[in-house]
Structure 1
Amino acid sequence: MRQAISHSGIRFRLLAGGLSLLLGLSAQAASYAVPHAALSLLPGDGQQAEVRHARDTVAGAALPDLGLSPPAGRAHVGLETMFSSQQGSWYFEPFVNNGLFRAIAGYQAHHPQAVVISGGSITLDQMAASLSDPRVLRRHKDGYLLSYPLVIAPGAALLIEDTALYLYTYSGTALINRGLLSLKGATLSSWNGEQPQSTQDPYRPFVMAWAGSQVRIEGSRLLRLGYNANLARGITTALSTQQPASTAPARVLVRDSEFTDLSTGLELQHAQARIQGSRFNDQQQYAVDLRDGQVEVAGNQIRGVQNNSGVRVRGEVRGLIAGNQVLDTAKSAIEVVEQRGALGIRQNLLGASRGNGILLGQLAPTQDQPLLVEGNLIGNTQGSGIDASEVGGALFLVDNQVGNTPEYAISLRNTQRLSGSLVLTGNTLGGIGKAMVRVEGLEQIVLGGNRYQGSPVLQNFLIGDLLPVQSQVLEGTVRHPCLLRVRTGVAVPATDLVVDDSCRG
């Protein structure tokens, strides 16, 4: 049974009595030696300026208006022969060995053909009238049934508005977009004629949009598309090896739409993508899979991912993932690995994942390309709330709430010590099975304003490189409102550091 999660479903409070037991300290200012780590006080306004800079840098990576509009004039539509390996057939070649041509051969008795739209815009009604061939496109249920692959050429557009387009599974139907594919108030779905699907050679229709193309999906429903093969998992964008590296990214706008039972709802590479207010239900691999692009993923609901994470980010991706609800995923709710670029993960509700809330791996953010994880509510995960590994650079974990996990609230482990700074401020952590915070192998950690719920008799609040200075850090950042920098892995002489309520100043 899925676990429900809400802002009111996770309660945090500071157990002041237990903290005093851990510290064993009076209310007076503390003076202490620092073994194997160096602690120093930081001015609060300086740290606030760093966080503001990270926010401003992420805001500066915001997407411009995508400017999607159909070309003028009536498009031409006709049938053309598909070649799997010939000059100019590069946009078919990736599908030679993934089942598309095999499925086509089961339906078309001649050399494979595709419907090609060129030179303007066209609707389904207009296309059906022009083709006048029910084996290719015919009336079906509340719209049309397409049984041939369809190619939208550069400078052309297919407009599907207030109707449905069904893609016949057993004829190798797919939409190959190099122009504009526009869905408004529409339904796009596979249809198998109620025949059982083969498990030996699985195939489902898909949408492939090459770099330079445009995709607009507004107020629409997409159902049962894609299967687990390269570039065929659902709605996909990519830059072909046959396209110049300078080719403009695909532009994708998805708004107020619903994706149900796709292999991957949106697999976007080399794209500028704005995904807003949409729902992803029961995806197989990922709901949103992003690589090399500029993105805004805001206000979406993701419920149920069978095999992997809800949102995955890789490569040179910059932008914002904000205000989303991601529940019931097989792995992490949000996964960021081998990523570069200013990226904000803000104010998301993440829970009931069978992995971590947020997974971060192999990252080296910088002050000019920060990773800002701020204001997220994470709970009821089977892994840690935030789990990071092989991370250096400038990582900001600010004002998050993490609760109800059997692992760690926040865990960062590097196999080798990496330079950089983790800013860990204003977080509320409670209901944690292991330690609240584990940090290993990072040069500097900045802590302050974090609130902890737990029993210090039964668990450590801070472990790893922070364990030797756990009581000092808690005294300086919880009992007194100070901001501390901990430099790890250094052997320093015993020195005195005094903290008191003067930090409020």
Structure 2
Amino acid sequence: MARLKRFSLTCLAALCLAGNAQAASQSLPTNQAVDTLSQQEHQHKVDQLRQQVRQAVAFNQTERQRPGGRASVSLQPMFSSQAGSWPFEPFVNNGLFRAIAGYQSRHPQVVTLRSGSITLAQLHDALNDPRVLKRYKDGYLLSYPLLIGPDAGLVLEGTSLYLSSFSGTALINQGWLGLNQSNLESMAGDQPGNTDRAWRPFVVAWAGSHTQVLHSTLKRLGYNANLSRGLTTALSPQQAASTRRATVVIKDSQFSDMSSAVELQHSQATITGSQFEQSQQYAIDVRDSQLNLQGNQVRGVDNNSGLRLRGQTQARVEGNLILGTAKAAIEVSEQQGPVLLAGNRMGDSRGNGIQLRNLAPTATAPLVIDDNLLASSQGTAVDASEVSGVALLDNRIGNTPEYAISLRNATPLPGPLLVSGNRLGQVGKALVRVEGVRDVVLGGNTYDGKPLLQNLLIGDLLPLQGQLLEATVRQGGTVRVRQ
């Protein structure tokens, strides 16, 4: 390791206005030290971090074949609280049973699949009851809820399945559900629903199940209630914590007009080449899961963020386009696993570009934001609070009225914050604001600011602004600021 050259700090602020009220109001730390790092040492650290995070977020997607043989089909009573009724219990009070009661005149029943797989055409013939399943347009209209048992599979190949909103229809998957070149959407019809609030059919896949959506379309599914927002995976309190994760594969598909298009809990999911348009809550909402999200497009989220990551999640989010979200393009909150955000393009968010809250990355679970383009957010491009450390590498950030990068901790946290190789400019306030991080590394960044009218570095870095810019911009070096 190259020898560090230490030098004492001076309170230089070469590019700031003496009368800047914001800077003057901050309490500035006095026990800071700056080290210079060799280019070789710095580049080694960056390369090592990139390799480390990719290894940490990598996983092999579990492949599951559909169950063999022909499934049996039966109509079974739905109980709200009884042995074996747990797949339905979460929906007792959210409108499903009331919607069913408006269509089924007797005790609610569910179509149940067991011991094998079945296509829609085979299911239609087996039921032979148009009140349950009938031919409709280019496929079939389902008017009863349908339960796919743990040893069963439902196969949609080159067809459409319409789920009746009036009758209380939902797909509940404990086994295998596969769509290939197919369409799944709700059908409201002209009959009034029998619920006291908005209600739409949904798909829920419990832990242990497999769901795949290939070259298919999902439309108008879900409403804002627990486990009912669109395509949802979850671990039931009635399932053992050791139950294997639900697996999800989505490829080259379209999701539109959903509450939350995909909501993942206790799952392993690969989502590639797909489009998510006009979601109400989130396009993709992930908690306690493994996620590989590559090459997708998110356009339009009415109420919240495009992508939210939480809990014990490991995520690779790469090469996606995220536009027009009500809050952040990407939100990471209360997150404890490794996350890589790389090569994404984000813009036109009415909140921040990337929002980070209450994160404590570790050496084995790093948080790396690498080679992204963030532009035209109405808040700050990268806004973080109560975050102990993050690496921002080779990003292009600009055209925002707030900050390019802002990290503020109420209580100082150890870091490190690594800001390297970024192009920052065209922001309304300072380019980089840092408060409450004990270890900050800066190097190779390009700053496009307004000399004498705009601070480039503020917060804890303000007393060192001139010194840091001299070392990193004019001399092209890398510095480490420690408290």
C-alpha distance in 2, partners of 1:65/1:359?
Answer: 28
The one-letter amino acid of 1:97's match is N
Q: 1:403 aligns with which of 376, 389, 398?
A: 398
Identity %: 56
1:452 aligns to what SS in structure 2? strand
**1:195 shift after superposition:** 4.6
In structure 1, the gaps of 5 or more residues are 1-19, 24-33, 489-505
User: Would the aligned equivalents of 1:58 and 1:320 in 2 still touch at CA under 8 Å?
Assistant: no
Partner of 1:5: none
**1:466 shift after superposition:** 0.3
C-alpha distance in 1, partners of 2:149/2:184?
Answer: 20
Q: 2:176 aligns with which of 180, 184, 195?
A: 180
**1:62 shift after superposition:** 1.3
Higher alpha-carbon deviation: 188-197 or 252-261: 188-197
**1:264 shift after superposition:** 0.2
Partner of 2:83: 87
Q: How many residues align?
A: 459
C-alpha distance in 2, partners of 1:398/1:183?
Answer: 39
C-alpha distance in 1, partners of 2:76/2:93?
Answer: 20
2:48 aligns to what SS in structure 1? helix
Q: 1:285 aligns with which of 281, 287, 310?
A: 281
User: Would the aligned equivalents of 1:118 and 1:155 in 2 still touch at CA under 8 Å?
Assistant: yes
The one-letter amino acid of 1:457's match is L
User: Would the aligned equivalents of 1:167 and 1:205 in 2 still touch at CA under 8 Å?
Assistant: yes
Q: Are 1:209 and 2:205 matched, yes or no?
A: yes
Q: 1:417 aligns with which of 400, 412, 422?
A: 412
User: Would the aligned equivalents of 2:166 and 2:192 in 1 still touch at CA under 8 Å?
Assistant: no
Partner of 2:106: 110
**1:45 shift after superposition:** 2.4
Q: Are 1:316 and 2:312 matched, yes or no?
A: yes
C-alpha distance in 1, partners of 2:457/2:177?
Answer: 52
Partner of 1:367: 363
Q: 1:334 aligns with which of 326, 330, 342?
A: 330
Partner of 2:386: 390
Q: 2:15 aligns with which of 14, 19, 22?
A: 22
Give the TM-score taking structure 2 as reference length.
0.93
User: Would the aligned equivalents of 1:345 and 1:374 in 2 still touch at CA under 8 Å?
Assistant: yes
C-alpha distance in 2, partners of 1:121/1:198?
Answer: 33
Cα displacement string for residues 277-325 of structure 1 (whole angstroms, at most 9, x for unaligned residues): 0000000000000000111001000000000000000001113000000
User: Would the aligned equivalents of 2:15 and 2:465 in 1 still touch at CA under 8 Å?
Assistant: no
**1:340 shift after superposition:** 1.1
C-alpha distance in 2, partners of 1:386/1:199?
Answer: 42
C-alpha distance in 2, partners of 1:196/1:447?
Answer: 61
1:182 aligns to what SS in structure 2? strand
Q: Are 1:144 and 2:140 matched, yes or no?
A: yes
User: Would the aligned equivalents of 1:58 and 1:319 in 2 still touch at CA under 8 Å?
Assistant: no
In structure 2, the gaps of 5 or more residues are 1-12, 17-28
C-alpha distance in 1, partners of 2:180/2:288?
Answer: 27
C-alpha distance in 2, partners of 1:82/1:418?
Answer: 52
Q: Are 1:481 and 2:476 matched, yes or no?
A: yes
State the superposition RMSD in angstroms: 1.6
**1:155 shift after superposition:** 1.5
C-alpha distance in 1, partners of 2:149/2:217?
Answer: 24
1:134-173 pair list within 5 angstroms = 134-173=130-169
C-alpha distance in 1, partners of 2:106/2:192?
Answer: 25
Cα displacement string for residues 22-41 of structure 1 (whole angstroms, at most 9, x for unaligned residues): 39xxxxxxxxxx95421111
C-alpha distance in 2, partners of 1:167/1:313?
Answer: 30
Q: Are 1:348 and 2:344 matched, yes or no?
A: yes
The one-letter amino acid of 1:419's match is P
User: Would the aligned equivalents of 1:308 and 1:329 in 2 still touch at CA under 8 Å?
Assistant: yes
User: Would the aligned equivalents of 2:394 and 2:421 in 1 still touch at CA under 8 Å?
Assistant: yes
Higher alpha-carbon deviation: 36-45 or 348-357: 36-45
Give the ranges of 4+ consecutive aligned residues of structure 1 lying more than 4 Å apart after TM superposition: 195-200
2:123 aligns to what SS in structure 1? helix
Cα displacement string for residues 139-171 of structure 1 (whole angstroms, at most 9, x for unaligned residues): 001000000000000111000010000000011
Q: Are 1:237 and 2:233 matched, yes or no?
A: yes
C-alpha distance in 2, partners of 1:223/1:213?
Answer: 22
